[in-house]
Amino acid sequence: MTAAPPELWSALRNAGHRLRVRRTARAVKRSLPATTTLAVIAVAIGLFGPPVFQHPARATILAVAAILAVRLAIPFLIRPGIEESAHSLDRESSLPDSVTAALELSPNPGPWASAVAVDACSRLRPLPAPAPELRTVGLGLCVVGVLLAVAAVWLPPKSQQIPIPPDPTGTISLDTVEAVVSDWERFSSKSDNPASAALAEAASELKTAMEGNPLGREEALVAIAKVEDRLKADADSASSDELASALAGSAASVAQALDAGDWKKAAAEAEAMARAENPSLPTAEQSSAMNALANKLEAAGQNSLARALRAMARASNTEQAAKAMQSLSEALSDASSASQVLELARMQLAATREAMGDAGATPGQDLVPKLPGAENQPPGSGAGSDSPGSSSGISETLSELDVLLPLQGIPTGAGESSAEILPSGAPRAESPTVQPTGASPGPGSLSREAIEEENLPLAHRTTIRRYFDAIRPQPATP
């Protein structure tokens, strides 16, 4: 290659440098939107995201930076071919393949080849000064990229630093349910109402189960579902709808109150009717309905209400009707308190489920809803309370519950472990939140311990965790 003059070679070299820079710029332009978006998302997750995602986010940031660095380095490191430089120079100087022709004809020196080379040199446009030697920059970028890539894989070997989220399968402590059960027992002891008795029985079963073994979330839900079934059965046995239809006509105001589900008002209306001079007598059809309902209530243990209904059905004059209405008033009053007990039990169960599910209650929010009509009453003045501010379990707020609900499980036997669950919001910064005790741990505990103790690659931790979760035995559903 002797035909091409030295200035042509110099121009080709400089064109090669400029080509590198252009290729790098093009590479950046092409990859910048995607890498920037990915990096911003990763940074946002790393800063504000849940702890479980913070490590992958950091690894992603490093990986993105590594990719970008290597992407930038490649065009710098790969020297463009001489033909590519010639094409580039032609393009830069708007030449019709002059440099390319000069270069390609240079192996065959002759007058025409020389003329082409000289012509190409004369047509070259003065271009910017040669770019500085960029291979060093490219090499540096490449090294940085490799280091970042290595860091992305190997930087966080300390698994202890990795926050582990609260285990949703953590145990429900006995204290949580005990507070509920004590309320139920207190109500049931005050009344001989069969609904209260049934509730106390179901609560005792739940408490016994809790004492035997701290229940997991699924198991606790199964136990609570059983209690709910009992509640439902009891509620059905004293359905206000049926009573209202039975009493319709003969005791219109009582039936109206029952239809609205207001037992207390129904009792008051019945008492008012009993005091009235001419209480209405039931028709034959109503008497028949009352007797049928009385049988049903008797079978369900609602003896006082059944007796009152039978007396009402038998009443043949106003005096008997007044007496029967008085009995009905007393029975309805009794049923009213039973209804309140059932309602309270339902609400407490709902609150317990909410606490187990950590349903996102905000601080200060009532975790246990108040009874109907008890919204304006001070804590402890609700039904069944005997001292101000005592444990009616109605108006405890989350801040109050925080004393109760950092549910420290009590190791009461083999295979138990203590755990802490947080009622709501972000998990605490301290980690790990589960302290293994080593005695007969469940599959969930095993998986968590394995992840904590073993020196596992970060990228594989989630997969391993998913595997353990997948092979975990499924609890029985209610």
Partner 1 sequence: MNPEDPSGNEEFRAKFRQLEQEVRKVIIGQKEVVENVLVAIVAGGHVLLEGVPGLGKTMLVRTIASALELSFQRIQFTPDLMPADLLGTNILVEDGGKHPRFEFSPGPIFCNLLLGDEINRATPKTQSALLEAMQEHAVTIAGRTRPIERPFFVLATQNPLEMEGTYPLPEAQLDRFFFKLRVGYPPPDAFVEILRRTTEPSTSSASPVFDGRQLSELGAFARAVPASPTILARAADLVMATHPETPTASADIRRFVRYGASPRGGQALLLAAKIRALLEGRFHAASEDLLAYALPALRHRVLLNFEAQADGIEADSLLTALCESKRAEWEKSKE
Q: Tell me how far, at minimum, the Cβ of 8 lies from partner 1, in Å.
A: 14
Among 14, 24, 60, 88, which residue interacts with partner 1 (rule: CB under 8 A)? 88
Is residue 33 close enough to count as binding partner 1 by CB under 8 A? no
Give the C-alpha separation, 232 to 250, whole Å: 29
Please state the closest distance from residue 463 (CB atom) to partner 1, in A: 43
Q: How far apart are CA 296 and CA 306, in angstroms?
A: 8
Residue 100 within binding range of partner 1, rule CB under 8 A: yes
> Are 140 and 388 in contact, with CB atoms under 8 Å apart?
no
**Is 105 near partner 1 (CB under 8 A)?**
yes
Nearer to partner 1, 108 or 161 (CB): 108
Q: For residues 401 and 416, give the distance between their C-alpha atoms in angstroms, rounded to a whole number.
A: 23
- State which residue, 111 or 438, has the beta carbon closest to partner 1: 111
Per-residue mark of binding to partner 1, 116-135 (x: CB under 8 A): x--x----------------
**Binder among 4, 59, 90, 269 for partner 1 (CB under 8 A):** 90
Contact 166, 423 (CB under 8 A): no
Widest pairwise Cα distance in the chain: 142
- Name the one range near partner 1 by CB under 8 A: 108-116, 193-201, 336-344, 428-436: 108-116
Question: Does 447 engage in binding with partner 1 (CB under 8 A)?
Answer: no
Q: CA-based angle 473:477:478, to the nearest 5?
A: 155
How far lies 183's CA from each of 192, 205, 352, 401, in Å? 16, 15, 13, 16
Of the candidate residues 112, 283, 372, 415, the single one contacting partner 1 (CB under 8 A): 112
Among 64, 70, 113, 313, binds partner 1 (CB under 8 A): 113
Tell which one of 38, 79, 104, 144 touches partner 1 (CB under 8 A). Answer: 104
Asked if 78 touches partner 1 (CB under 8 A), the answer is no
Taking Cα atoms as reference points, which of 157, 161, 158, 144 lies closest to residue 62?
144
Give, in order, the Cα–Cα distances in Å from 171 to each of 156, 210, 356, 441, 468.
31, 10, 9, 12, 18
Site for partner 1 in 185-224 (CB under 8 A): none
Tokens found for residue 380: 């402890």
| 101 touches partner 1 (CB under 8 A) | yes
Q: Is 1 in the site for partner 1 (CB under 8 A)?
A: no
Q: Tell me how far, at minimum, the Cβ of 13 lies from partner 1, in Å.
A: 17
In 3D, which of 361, 433, 357 has the Cα closest to residue 168? 357
- The angle subtended at Cα 461 by Cα 455 and Cα 467, nearest 5°, is 120
Q: Which residues bind partner 1 (CB under 8 A)?
A: 87-88, 90-91, 96-98, 100-102, 104-105, 111-113, 115-116, 119
